[in-house]
Amino acid sequence: MPCVFCEIVAKREPASIRYEDDDVIVIDNILRWAPVMLLAIPKRHISQQELWENMGSVGAAAIRVGEELCPNGYRLISNLGRDAMQSQPHGHIHILGGFHLGPYA
Active site residues: 92
CA end-to-end distance (rounded Å), the chain: 33
Task: Decide if 75 contacts 101 (C-beta within 8 A).
Answer: yes
**DSSP letters spanning 30-99:** S--SSSEEEEEEESS---HHHHHH--HHHHHHHHHHHHHH-TT-EEEE---SGGGT---SS--EEEEESS
Q: Cα–Cα distance between 98 and 47 in angstroms, integer?
A: 28
